[in-house]
Structures are given as structure tokens and as C-alpha cells.
């Protein structure tokens, strides 16, 4: 890899200039600003690698997907990135304008530099460096670069499930990644799913005077009684049947978990709490955080909530409840369990509206794509990668990769000080060039017979 590394070292300023050009182009999916122009820049870069490029329409009003195919070989790598960025507000907190990328103290600042333009561009540049120094790619790449990730990819799942042929691959490189507080590379092998519902109830045709609270029903009480059957004060989720479907942790999962740093004191101090909910701590808390499902009340509303007192007996109440889903829970399964759980307890009057659903997606650490990434990281970083078998958040890992039998891994150029989705988003140049060098080794390892 000597020639590859030399090429990278010699092209640093060109690479940074390309990164600044990418970041100077607004591409805010929430408003549509610059989306088409950015998709054009991405298509240009892909064409420059010799790829055949298609523009895919996800939904009539959605930003287009740039879909690029390049390389030849027995194996196929799917890469998932996105070219859209978050809005810039509060703009007054930026030290330099968000779309004027600026270098300061070994960092480059600008909206999107970490999420996700840096992680998209180092991959492009590594492939170019490979082509210039190592020859043709040793496998085929199908690259799926969407433009609505920051607005929740609302129409991605049905599209992906209908177009498996575009996505099926031997491994998938996910959009983001970086190093942790101790500069160890962090890999993620999956994401939790989500079921987000609104529970609502109407107990009378209208509000009544609360003097009738003796014998007339109260919608808020009804909702509280239904909710309290779902989770105990010790944080145990009580939804009937849920735990029968939760996949046990494998020995590898447990081994990986034990290697994950967990700065719980610092996390708790930041939140202003002195212990975790449910009284767990240490390894148990980490295990629950990374591998546990949730049952969260995201919001609740009913009756009079203004200042002072109003003696009203509320006819209607509602709560937003969400479940983070771990393997093998699915939105459909948990919806059915919830309906049956409520009906079994006489709460058939509680209505369930589904507001969102996403399957969990998890890859085995023994997958070739993961092993290739580990081998690559070990050549570039002083520490071995910390591997997160599952992340607490949710993303479209399932429809893009896991639903098609494609294992995934995520690594990249970010770091904890990136100011994700916030003013002064930035990456460190050193991380960027390390990720570039790692990508070269990953290409070699993934292509290895």
C-alpha cells in the first residue's frame, strides 16, 4: 500500500479542496435548498471514477437518489451515503458561515462536513487513489446516495423493498462512522428499529364538569391506567409476549459489549442525573442501552393544561408511545402484541395509530465485510476498533441492507467533537486522512479471496 499512501499524501490539498467544494454547496433536504445542484456534483464525481450513474426517483417529491455502479469482480459491495444536510439554524452560533468551509487548528468547519459529505468524499477519493496506484477495483460497487436522510427518508423503505436487485450485495458500507473519545475507531454493525404510535381514547361525547368525576369517566385516567400496564416503575417492559421475541445475545455480542467503553458518570453528569432509570449501572446499563428494547412515552396530552385551575372532566386524551426494536422485534409484531395486550386487559377503547415503523437490522461480527474492516483498521489506527453490534438509534439499515441479506459495517472520518446537527459542525483533518488510508486497505481486504 506504499504507492497508495504516497498518492494520498501528495494529493492532500486537492482532496481538501474537493471537500470544501462539496461543503460549499448547500443541500438542505428540509427546505430543498441546493438539493439538485448537490446531486449533480455527486453524479460528476461518480462519473469521474468511471461509474455508470443513474438518477432514481424514490417518491415524486423526494430528492433523487444517485445510484452509481463501478468495478468488476465476484464480490459486490453496497455503499450507502447521503448528500443532504441538516438546516443551519441557529446560524448566529456559527463561528464561520456554514456554507463557507473554513480550516482552523487542524479542523475543517462547515455544514455537512461530518454528516455526511466527508464520509462520502473520502470513499470517492480512496477509490480514485486505488485506481491510480493499485489498478482496477477487485470487486463491484453499487453506491446508493440518497438526499432525504435528514428528513427521515420517509419513502425509502417501500422503494428499497421493491428494488432488492439494486441493493443485494456481499456486504454494505454504511454512511457514517469515526473515532471515539480515546481516538479508537468505532464500528457499528446495525441499528435498532422503531415503532412509534399514538394511543388515544375518547370516553364521552364531550368534556363535563368535574363534579361528575364521581361517576362519569375521565379520559386521562383511562389512558394512565392503560399505559401503566406497559412498563413497571422498575423499568421492566410488561408488554405481553415482547420478551419471547427478543433474540438472546450471542457470545460474540457479549464479548464485543465487554470491550465497549462506557463513560456513564460523564453521561449522567451531562444529563443532571445521579443514577440510571431502573437502578442499573456499569455493564448491565450498557447492555440494556445497546441491546434493550424501549417503551417510551414521548408525549402525553389531555384535558386542561393552561394556567391555574379548570374543573373539567376530560373526554379525550392521547399519548405518543414508541418502542425501540431489537432483533427479532418488528413494527408489525409489536403493533399486534400491543393491540392484544390492551384488549386482554379490557382496553379495547384505546385506539392505536401507527405514526412510524422501522425494522431493526443487525449484522454478525463474523461477516466478511466486518472482518475486512477490522483488518483494515488495524493497519491504520494504533488501537483495535471498538465494535458496536447495535446502536441505540434507528436508521434504514434493514430496508437498505439486512432485508436483502446484506451484512453491514460502518466506519468513517468523524469524531465526538463533530457537533452533529449543530452549529460549527467539523471534522479533524487527521481523522479524514486516516479514514482515506483505511478505505484503501478495506478495498484490498474486501476483495481478498
Binding piece for a copy of itself, criterion CB under 8 A, among 43-51, 189-197, 242-250, 332-340: 189-197
Q: Does 97 bind a copy of itself (CB under 8 A)?
A: no
Other beta carbons less than 10 A from residue 132's beta carbon: 12
Q: How many residues bind a copy of itself (CB under 8 A)?
A: 69
Task: Please state, in angstroms and rounded to a whole number, the distance separating the CA atoms of residues 402 and 358.
Answer: 12
Q: How is residue 306 annotated by DSSP? A: S
Which residue has cell 452560533? Answer: 93
Task: Answer whether 19's CB lies under 8 Å from 123's CB.
Answer: no
Q: Which is nearer to a copy of itself, 145 or 350 (CB)?
A: 350
Q: Does 317 bind a copy of itself (CB under 8 A)?
A: yes
- Return the C-alpha cell found at 315: 373526554
With CB under 8 A as the contact rule, the residue among 12, 17, 298, 336 that binds a copy of itself is: 298
Q: Does 209 bind a copy of itself (CB under 8 A)?
A: yes
Q: Which is nearer to a copy of itself, 30 or 37 (CB)?
A: 30
Task: Please state, in angstroms and rounded to a whole number, the distance separating the CA atoms of residues 165 and 199.
Answer: 38
With CB under 8 A as the contact rule, the residue among 313, 337, 367, 408 that binds a copy of itself is: 313
Residue span 219-258 as binding mask against a copy of itself, x where in contact by CB under 8 A, dash where not: -xx--xx-xx--x-x-------------------------
Q: What's the residue count for the chain?
A: 449
Q: Does 304 bind a copy of itself (CB under 8 A)?
A: yes
Task: Please state, in angstroms and rounded to a whole number, the distance separating the CA atoms of residues 359 and 331.
Answer: 6
Task: Answer whether 314's CB lies under 8 Å from 302's CB.
Answer: yes
Task: Please state, in angstroms and rounded to a whole number, the distance separating the CA atoms of residues 275 and 282.
Answer: 11
With CB under 8 A as the contact rule, the residue among 295, 377, 427, 429 that binds a copy of itself is: 295
Measured between alpha carbons, how far is residue 320 from residues 195, 251, 331, 373, 394 in Å? 11, 36, 15, 39, 17
- Return the C-alpha cell found at 431: 481523522
Q: Which is nearer to a copy of itself, 119 or 200 (CB)?
A: 200
Task: Answer whether 121's CB lies under 8 Å from 412's CB.
Answer: no
Burial 338-356 (b: 16+ CB within 10 A, else e): beebbeeeebeebeeeeee
Nearest CA to 18 out of 110, 121, 88 is that of: 121
Q: Does 389 bind a copy of itself (CB under 8 A)?
A: no
Task: Answer whether 444's CB lies under 8 Å from 75's CB.
Answer: no
Task: Please state, in angstroms and rounded to a whole number, the distance separating the CA atoms of residues 125 and 108.
Answer: 17
Q: Give CA 424 to chain center in angstroms.
A: 21
With CB under 8 A as the contact rule, the residue among 164, 241, 261, 356 that binds a copy of itself is: 356
Q: Which is nearer to a copy of itself, 135 or 206 (CB)?
A: 206
Q: Which is nearer to a copy of itself, 156 or 429 (CB)?
A: 156
Nearest CA to 153 out of 227, 257, 59 is that of: 59
Binding piece for a copy of itself, criterion CB under 8 A, among 97-105, 163-171, 192-200, 381-389: 192-200
Q: Does 299 bind a copy of itself (CB under 8 A)?
A: yes
Q: Which is nearer to a copy of itself, 54 or 419 (CB)?
A: 419
Task: Answer whether 7's CB lies under 8 Å from 110's CB.
Answer: no
Q: Does 362 bind a copy of itself (CB under 8 A)?
A: no
With CB under 8 A as the contact rule, the residue among 79, 126, 203, 427 that binds a copy of itself is: 203
Binding piece for a copy of itself, criterion CB under 8 A, among 77-85, 123-131, 309-317, 410-418: 309-317
Task: Please state, in angstroms and rounded to a whole number, the distance separating the CA atoms of residues 133 and 252.
Answer: 37
Q: Does 296 bind a copy of itself (CB under 8 A)?
A: yes
Q: Does 388 bind a copy of itself (CB under 8 A)?
A: no
Binding piece for a copy of itself, criterion CB under 8 A, among 57-65, 86-94, 391-399, 433-441: 391-399
Task: Please state, in angstroms and rounded to a whole number, the distance separating the CA atoms of residues 337 and 331.
Answer: 10
Q: Which is nearer to a copy of itself, 83 or 187 (CB)?
A: 187
Binding piece for a copy of itself, criterion CB under 8 A, among 23-31, 142-150, 188-196, 252-260: 188-196
Q: Does 297 bind a copy of itself (CB under 8 A)?
A: yes
Binding piece for a copy of itself, criterion CB under 8 A, among 42-50, 306-314, 367-375, 437-445: 306-314
Q: What strands, in cross-sheet order, belong to the sheet with 102-104?
A: 102-104, 107-109, 426-428
Q: Does 361 bind a copy of itself (CB under 8 A)?
A: no
Q: Does 213 bind a copy of itself (CB under 8 A)?
A: yes
Chain residues in the site for a copy of itself (CB under 8 A):
192, 194, 196, 203-206, 208-218, 220-221, 224-225, 227-228, 231, 233, 271-273, 276-278, 280, 285, 288-290, 292, 294-305, 308-314, 317-320, 322, 324, 355-356, 391-394
Amino acid at each position: 500500500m506504499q504507492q497508495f499512501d504516497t498518492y494520498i499524501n501528495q494529493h492532500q490539498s486537492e482532496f481538501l479542496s474537493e471537500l470544501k467544494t462539496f461543503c460549499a454547496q448547500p443541500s438542505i433536504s428540509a427546505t430543498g435548498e441546493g438539493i439538485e445542484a448537490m446531486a449533480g456534483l455527486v453524479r460528476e464525481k461518480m462519473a469521474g471514477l468511471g461509474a455508470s450513474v443513474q438518477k432514481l426517483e424514490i417518491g415524486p417529491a423526494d430528492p433523487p437518489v444517485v445510484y452509481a455502479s463501478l468495478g468488476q469482480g465476484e464480490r459486490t459491495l453496497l455503499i450507502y451515503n447521503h448528500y443532504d444536510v441538516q438546516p443551519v439554524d441557529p446560524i448566529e452560533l456559527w463561528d464561520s458561515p456554514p456554507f463557507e468551509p473554513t480550516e482552523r487548528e487542524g479542523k475543517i468547519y462547515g455544514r455537512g462536513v461530518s454528516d455526511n459529505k466527508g464520509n462520502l468524499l473520502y470513499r470517492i477519493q480512496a477509490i480514485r487513489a486505488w485506481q491510480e496506484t493499485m489498478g482496477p477495483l477487485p470487486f463491484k460497487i453499487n453506491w446508493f446516495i440518497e438526499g432525504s436522510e435528514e428528513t427521515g427518508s420517509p419513502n425509502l423503505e417501500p422503494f428499497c423493498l421493491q428494488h432488492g436487485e439494486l441493493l443485494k450485495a456481499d456486504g454494505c458500507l454504511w454512511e457514517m462512522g469515526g473515532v471515539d473519545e480515546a481516538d479508537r475507531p468505532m464500528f457499528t454493525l446495525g441499528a435498532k428499529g422503531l415503532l412509534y404510535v399514538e394511543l388515544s381514547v375518547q370516553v364521552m361525547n364531550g368534556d363535563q364538569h368535574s363534579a361528575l368525576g364521581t361517576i362519569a369517566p375521565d379520559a386521562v385516567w383511562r389512558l394512565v391506567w392503560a399505559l401503566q400496564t406497559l412498563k413497571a416503575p422498575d423499568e421492566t417492559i410488561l408488554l405481553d409476549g415482547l420478551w419471547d421475541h427478543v433474540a438472546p445475545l450471542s457470545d460474540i455480542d457479549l464479548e464485543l459489549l465487554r470491550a465497549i467503553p462506557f463513560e456513564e458518570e460523564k453521561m449522567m453528569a451531562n444529563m443532571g442525573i445521579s443514577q440510571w432509570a431502573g437502578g442499573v449501572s456499569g455493564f448491565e446499563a450498557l447492555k440494556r442501552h445497546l441491546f434493550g428494547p424501549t417503551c417510551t412515552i414521548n408525549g402525553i396530552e389531555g384535558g386542561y393544561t393552561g394556567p391555574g385551575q379548570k374543573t373539567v372532566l376530560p373526554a379525550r386524551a392521547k399519548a405518543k408511545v414508541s418502542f425501540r426494536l431489537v432483533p427479532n422485534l418488528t413494527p408489525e409484531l409489536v403493533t399486534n402484541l400491543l393491540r392484544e395486550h390492551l384488549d386482554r386487559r379490557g382496553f379495547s377503547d384505546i385506539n392505536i395509530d401507527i405514526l412510524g415503523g422501522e425494522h431493526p437490522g443487525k449484522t454478525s461480527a463474523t461477516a466478511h465485510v466486518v472482518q475486512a474492516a477490522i483488518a483494515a483498521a488495524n493497519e491504520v489506527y494504533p488501537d483495535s476498533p471498538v465494535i458496536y453490534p447495535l446502536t441505540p438509534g434507528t436508521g434504514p439499515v434493514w430496508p437498505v441492507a439486512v432485508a436483502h441479506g446484506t451484512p453491514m459495517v460502518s466506519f468513517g472520518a468523524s469524531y465526538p467533537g463533530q457537533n452533529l446537527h449543530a452549529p460549527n459542525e467539523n471534522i479533524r483533518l487527521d481523522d479524514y486522512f486516516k479514514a482515506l488510508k483505511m478505505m484503501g486497505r478495506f478495498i484490498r481486504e474486501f476483495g481478498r479471496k
